[in-house]
Amino acid sequence: MIVNSRQQFIFLHIPKTGGRSIKRGLNRIPGNNKRWLADTNHETMAQFSANVKARLSLKDRFLWRNPKHYFSFAFVRNPWDRMSSLYRFLLEKRPKEETDTVSCFKDFLIQAQQGVTWIQELKSMKSQLDYFTMPGGRMKIGFLGHFEFLNDDVNSISKHIKCSISLGHENRSTNFSSDYQRYFDNEMIEIVASRFSEEIEPFGYTFERKQPSRRCSEHLDCYRETFRNSVIADSSQKNAA
């Protein structure tokens, strides 16, 4: 997460959605408030909102700094592509005593489905929706972009915060490939589809096509229980217009 008190924005870092590159660009903008951050890179908006009050300094209180009113943004990614990227990353970065218990990508997904503890505890295995769902089930974020349209959506965010964000590419695994489909068989496709079903259809993701058939690329404000219908209905209205 990045919180900037001068420009009044919050970047919510959902794992494996290009967040390292975005954070590098945002860190060049003066005003980052590291005192408001947790030790983890991937604090959810609900966790941040619950804990930030205790992190405010006397100066923050004197200046009436209230992150509740800051512009927030995050990115989502095709879940099949995201899981493929996660597995390659784990092979390079995760302790071998854990990754040696996994024989291949398929075995990793099967173990995830079986509830193996160290895999279940990975922040990347959370639903992407968990990161911007507040207590009570309301999902609210100022701009939700797509990893697949990273440059376009970052340009839109730059205009909103009135600061240029330059992107590099950090944390890319050395055996990176954009052709994630070749790593899956039918069983693996279904495991990912089942685990992340809540986020797949509303954002227009399919296994066969990396880019979404519909774009959010704007604010999101709805309740999670009605999320699927509200996003699809809103997209249909835009297409009709």
pLDDT (tens, 9 = 90+) of the chain, 241 residues, equals: 999 988 999 999 999 999 888 999 998 998 888 777 777 778 898 988 887 777 777 777 766 677 788 999 999 999 999 999 999 999 988 888 888 999 999 999 999 999 999 999 999 999 999 999 999 999 999 999 999 999 999 999 999 999 988 886 544 433 344 689 999 999 999 999 999 999 999 999 999 999 999 888 899 999 998 887 766 666 555 555 5
CB 35 within 8 A of CB 57: yes
Q: Three-state DSSP class for 223?
A: strand
* Cβ-based neighbour number of residue 167 at 10 Å: 13
pLDDT digits (tens, 9 = 90+) for 115-152: 999 999 999 999 999 999 999 999 999 999 999 999 99
Does domain 2-240 fall under CATH 2.60.40? My reply is no
pLDDT at 51 (0 to 100):
79
Q: Residue 143's beta-bridge partner residues?
A: 73
pLDDT at 5 (0 to 100):
87
pLDDT at 56 (0 to 100):
73
Q: Three-state DSSP class for 125?
A: helix
CB 144 within 8 A of CB 216: yes
pLDDT at 181 (0 to 100):
94
Q: Three-state DSSP class for 27?
A: coil
pLDDT at 237 (0 to 100):
59
pLDDT at 64 (0 to 100):
67
- pTM for the structure as a whole: 0.86
CB 45 within 8 A of CB 12: yes
> Could you tell me the maximum CA-CA distance found in the chain, to the nearest angstrom?
58
Domain locations in the chain?
2-240
CB 84 within 8 A of CB 183: yes
Closest C-alpha to 154, from 27, 26, 13: 26
